[in-house]
Structure 1
Amino acid sequence: MSGADTKFPDGFTWGASTSAYQIEGAWNEDGKGPSVWDLFVQEEDKMWRGQTGKIACDHYHRFKEDVALMAQIGIKAYRFSLSWSRILPKGTGKVNKAGIRFYNALIDELLKNGIEPWITLFHWDYPYELYLQGGWLNPKSPEWFEEYTRVAVEHFSDRVRYWVTINEPQGFLGLGHSEGYHAPGLKLCLRECLLAGHNTLLAHGRSVRVIRDNAKLEPTIGWSPASSAYRPSTNSLNDINAAREATYAIYPGGLWNTCWWTDPVFLGAYPDEGLKIYGKDSPQATKADMKLINQPIDFCGCNLFQVVPVKMGANGAPVAVELQPEEPISTYEWSLNTEGLYWGPTFIHERYQTPLVIMENGCSLLDRVGLDGAVHDSGRKDFIIGCLLSLHRAIEDGVDVRGYFHWSLMDNFEWQQGYKHRFGLVYVDFESQDRILKESAFTYQEIIATHGESLRKYTHNQEEPVPYVVKEAQRYIENNISEPFNVKTIAAHLNCHPDSLSRRFKQYTGTSLSTHIRRVRLECARNMLRDPNMLIGVVSDYCGFSDRIHFTKVFRKEMGMTPGQFQRQFRAREDAEEKAAVEISKNPRVK
C-alpha cells in the first residue's frame, strides 16, 4: 500500500518568492533613486568577487518572460517586493511615475496569466536618501514607511489583495546594522539596533492600518519575520520540549530569535524573557506604541530554510546537537533536513494561534547546465518533496497553514554572496540572461497540478516493494516511448482491466497513469529539442505523439510555448557560442 493521502487543503496557495533588489536590475533607470544596497555594493571588499545587483536577473526588462515561466510551472501566486526608491526616489515626496508604471505592468501580466500578486512592501532595499537622515533610527521612519505604503495602496490595491509589510527584520537589522555584512554596513550597539527594530515594528503597525483603511479590494495582510525555529534531535518528549523552548527563547547579545519580533505583533507586548535579557538596552515602548504594533493581521509569514537540532541537556536547558556526518548540507552549509517544515510551523502556531503562510523555503545548491542542456538539481527536488511532506503532516496535526512559496523563483543576487549561490527553480545564466527550468521546477509543477497528491508516491513503506503492475507499467512506458500506446494498451499487455490498472497506479503514485504517460513523452521531447538541429517532426514521432499538430498542442498546453519556441532558445545559445569561438580564433587574446 502507498502512504496516506497527501492532498493539501482546498484553497491552499502554491507560489514562489523573489525580492526587488535581487532580481530587478535597472538600478538607476527611469527615475529610480538609490537604495542602501546600490551604494553598499560599490564599497571595496564588501561583495563576493565584487559583484553587484546593478543588472541581477534583468527582471525589470524581462518580467514578461519571467511571468511566462511562472505560468509554465503552474505557479498560482507570486510574492515579490516593491523597490521603495523606485516608487519614491527620495523615500518620501514626489512619486516616480515610471516606477508605478513598471509595477502596474507586472501586476497586469500576472493577472493575465492567472497568477495572484502578493506584494511585500519592504525587503531590505532602504532608500539611501532616508538613510542619510538616520534611516530606521530616525523616529520619523515609521511615518516615512506609512507614506510609502499609502502610495502603493493607492496605485495597486484595485488589483492586489495580498500584502506583506516587512520581510525579516532580524536579517536587515542583524546583518546590516549590527554585524555590518549587509547594507548599510553598520556595526551599531545592541541598544541602537533594538531602537531601530522598535521603529520597524511601529512602521509595520502604521502600514497595516493604512492598508486596512484604504485598500480598494478587501486586503489579506501579513508580515514575514525570519522564523528562528529548532527541531528535536530525537522524538523523545524531553527533546521535543527542548526544541519548543529553544524556538521561543531570546538569546543575549543578538537579534536572531522569533519571539522578540513576533510577540509584539500578535500578543501586543515584548516577551518578558526578552525584556529581562536585553535589560537597559530594551526600547522604551509606550502602551500606545504596543497598541499600534498590535494591529490585527490575517497571517504570519514563516521564512524557514534550516532548523537546528537540539536536545534537552542535563541541566534541563536545550543544547544544540551537531549535525551527523552523513546529514546533507547546502552550499551555505545549512542542514537539508526537511523536518523543519513540521516542527517550525508547529511551534509557531502553538504560540500565536494564527494562520501561517510559508513565505520562503528553499536551498542553495551547486547547479549547472548538464551536457544534455538540462539542469538536474535532484537535491533541490528531494528537498522540496521532503519539506512539503513534513508540512502536510503539520497540517494534518492541526497547524493552520494557508500556503507555500518556494524561495526562489529564479537564481538571483544573493546579497553579499553575489551570484555564488543558486536557490532558483529557474536557472539563470547571468551573462546571457538565458533562463532554463530546472528539474525541480518540473517536480513542483507536478505537485501543484495534483494539489500535492503526487507526493504520495514518496510516502510508501520503503520495505514494501513497488506493486508489480505499477512497476511493469512504468517499464513498458520507458521501453516503448515511440509507440502510440495508451492505458488500454498497457492493461492488455499486463492482462488486467484498464480501470483496475489506473486505480492501482494512482493509489501508489498519486498521479493518473494517463498523466504519467503524457509527462514521460514530454520529458523525452524536451530532452530531444535541446538539440537545435533536431527536426520537430522527428521528435513528435520518436516520443509517440499521433502527429505533429497534436504534439504542438500538448506541448504548448504543458510548457506555455510551442516546441519551436522551446528549441529556439537553445539554437540562440549555440549561435552565441559559435560566434564567440570565431572571435577567439581570429584573436587568441580574446577571452
Structure 2
Amino acid sequence: MWDRFLHDNSSRTEDGRNADIACDSYHKWQEDVQLLKELGVKIYRFSISWSRILPDGTTNKINQAGVDYYSNLLKELEANNIEPLVSLYHWDLPQHLSELGGWLNPQIADYFGEYARLSFRLFGKYVRQWATVNEPKSTCLLGYGNDFNAPGLVLVADGVYQCAKIQLLAHAKAWHIYDDEFRASQGGRISLVLDSPWTEPASDSDLDKEAAEREIQFGFGWFANPVYIGDWPQVMKERIANRSKLEGLGFSRLPELTQAEIDYINGTHDYFALNIYTGTLVEFIPDAHIGTPSYKSDKGNNAYSDPSWPESSTDWLYYWPLSMRRLVNYVNKKYSPGEIFITENGWADTGGIDDQDRVRYFKGYLSNLLDAILEDGINVGGYTAWSLLDNFEWAAGYTQKLGLISVDHDSPNKTRAWKASGRYYQQVVQTRCLVDTCVE
C-alpha cells in the first residue's frame, strides 16, 4: 500500500521520492551482511515484506523470487553466526488487502495468520526470534487517523481504535499458530513490538501525574494491556465511553473486546519487544468541549518537550537519555514480562559521516540501559539499534538519516560508507565498553 500511496501523490514524502529502490538491499544483501559481520553484532533485526512473498497478500500465489531472497539472506546470516530477529509486519500491507479495508476489516487478521503460518514454514528453520506486528500504534494513528502514512485515512475518532483491535487479533492469531504448530519443532519465540516515549509529569502535581499516566496508557497500554494484562486500559474504556455518550452515541467508539477475544489476546508474548527513542513532558489540561470527536480529545492532556533537551533533525525526537531507564523500569513493573528486548533505539540527523550527536545519543541511552540492568535489576535480553543503514524513512523520505552506515541514495550503486557512530558502535560491541577507556 505504500507503493500505491507514494506513486499516487509524490508530495506525500518530504523530498517527493519513493521507496522503489531505497537501499537496494534486495541486490546488496551480501554486502550488508558483511557490514554486520564487521560491526561484530550477533543479531540482525529485519522485516519480511508481506507482498514480496505474497503479491496480493493471500496464499493463492507465492512469489518464489521473494522466498529465495529471504532464504538466501537467512542462510548468509547463519554462515556468519548472526542470529535473525524477523518482523512479519512493518507498516506495509499488500495493496489488495488494503483495498479490502485494510486494518479496519476483521478478516485481515485471518489473512495475516495464513501469511504468518507460511513464513514459519518457509523460514522457521533459520529463525528463533519472531516479531509479529511492529508499532501497531504508528500504523493506526499515522495511517488510519492521519494522512501522514499509508493508507492516509483520517479516521481519528474511531478508525484508529478499530485498527488497533484488528492488529491485536492478527498478532494473537500469529502467536497461537506458532505456539500450536511450530514451537515444539522449531524452538523459537514470538512477540509483538511496541513503542513509546517515556512520559514524565510536567510537575509534581497529582493532576500532571495522572495526565502522564493517561498519556502512556492511551499510547502504550492501548496495546500492552490486552497482551500482558487483558483488555483495554480502564482509563481508555471509561473516557471514550463517556465522551461517546456525550456526543450522542449509544455505544463507545472504542470497540469492545469480548471475553473470548480478551482471553485469546492475553498472554500472547514470549518477551517484551520495546522501541524507545525519546521522552516527553505531560501536563493536565481541562477536557475539550464536546464537539468533533478525536483521539486527542479522548486522551485529554498536553505533551511537549523540555526546551533544554537537544533536538534531532525531526520534531519528535529529543535527546533525553534518562527516558530509556525510566521506561524499561515502568515496563518491568507494570507488565512483569520476564525479559525486555530493545528492538529500536536511534537518532535522526540530515547526514554526514562525522555524526558525533549520534555517538553522544548511543553513549547516553546505552549508559542508562546499563544502569537499569545493573542497578535496577531489569532483565534486558538484547538490543538492536535503529538502524544499520540510512534508509527510506516513510513520510520523511530520505531527508532523515538514522543509520550507522551512510548510504548515498543518489549514486547508482547506493554506496555505503562508515560513520563515526558505526565505528563507535563497533567498538562497544567488541569491548562491551561505552567510553573510550574502560577499567577492568
- Could you say whether these structures have the same fold, taking a TM-score greater than 0.5 normalized by the shorter chain as the test? yes
Alignment of 1:411 with 2:383, yes or no, is: no
Are the counterparts in 2 of residues 242 and 310 from structure 1 also a CA contact under 8 Å?
no
Aligned with residue 102 of structure 2, among 135, 159, 178: 135
Identify which of 419, 443, 451 aligns with 2:424. Answer: 443
TM-score (norm 2): 0.87
Q: Which amino acid aligns with 1:223?
A: L
Q: For residues 228 and 427 of structure 1, do their structure 2 counterparts lie closer, same or farther at Cα, with a shift above 3 Å needed? A: same
Does 1:126 find its partner at 2:104? no
Question: Deviations along 1:321-372, whole A, 9 cap, x unmatched?
Answer: 6523x5311000321121111111111211001121111110101322xxxx
Q: How many angstroms apart in 2 are the aligned matches of 1:96 and 1:285?
A: 36
> Equivalences for 1:395-410 in 2 at 5 Å?
395=373, 396-410=375-389
Map 1:275-354 onto structure 2 (within 5 A): 275-279=237-241, 280-310=252-282, 322-324=305-307, 326-333=308-315, 334-354=317-337
The 5 A counterparts of 1:546-561 are none
* Alignment check: 8 A CA contact 1:243 1:309 kept: no
Match runs of 1:342-421 below 5 Å: 342-354=325-337, 355-368=339-352, 375-395=353-373, 396-421=375-400
Partner of 1:197: 164
- Residues 197 and 323, structure 2, Cα contact 8 Å, conserved in 1: no
* Counterpart code for 1:200: Q
| Residues 545-577 of structure 1: CA deviation (Å, up to 9, x unaligned) | xxxxxxxxxxxxxxxxxxxxxxxxxxxxxxxxx
Query: Percent identical across equivalent pairs?
Result: 34
Contact kept, 8 Å, 1:247 with 1:347, in 2: the verdict is: no
The letter of the residue matching 1:510 is C
Cα distance in 1, alignment partners of residues 253 and 301 from structure 2? 25
What amino acid maps onto 1:435 in structure 2? R
**Mapping 1:185-264, distance limit 5 Å:** 185-215=152-182, 216-231=185-200, 238=204, 245-246=210-211, 248-250=213-215, 257-264=219-226
Q: Judging changes above 3 Å, is the alpha-carbon distance between structure 1 residues 387 and 138 closer, same or farther for their aligned structure 2 residues?
A: same
Structure 2 unmatched runs, 5+: 242-251, 286-299
Q: State the 4+ residue runs in structure 1 displaced beyond 4 angstroms.
A: 241-247, 310-313, 317-322
- Give 1:197 deviation, angstroms: 1.2
Deviates more, 1:132-141 or 1:160-169: 132-141
Q: C-alpha displacement at 1:299, in angstroms?
A: 1.1
Q: Which residue of 1 aligns with 2:57?
A: 91
For 1:328 and 1:164, the matched residues in 2 are separated by 32
* Residue identity in the other structure for 1:308: T
Equivalent residue, structure 2, for 1:551: none
Larger-gyration structure (1/2): 1
Q: Does the CA-based 8 Å contact 2:279-2:305 persist in structure 1?
A: no
Amino acid at match of 2:309: E
For 1:116 and 1:511, the matched residues in 2 are separated by 30
Helix, strand or coil for the counterpart of 1:144? helix
Structure 1 residue 232, shift from structure 2 partner: 5.8
TM-score, with length taken from structure 1: 0.66
CA RMSD, aligned part only? 2.3
| Corresponding residue SS for 1:206 | helix
Q: In structure 1, what residue type is equivalent to 2:424?
A: T
**1:231/1:189 Cα in 2 relative to 1: closer, same or farther (>3 Å)?**
closer
Amino acid in the other structure paired with 2:366: L
Q: Is contact 1:137–1:192 with CA below 8 Å preserved after alignment?
A: yes
Q: 1:446 to 1:511 in 2, by over 3 A?
A: farther
Preserved contact between residue 250 and residue 273 of structure 1 (Cα < 8 Å): no
Does the 8 Å CA contact 1:362/1:407 hold for their aligned counterparts?
yes
Aligned length: 408
Q: 2:13 aligns with which of 47, 50, 53?
A: 47
Q: Distance in 2 between matches of 1:337 and 1:159?
A: 37
Match of 1:510 in 2: 438
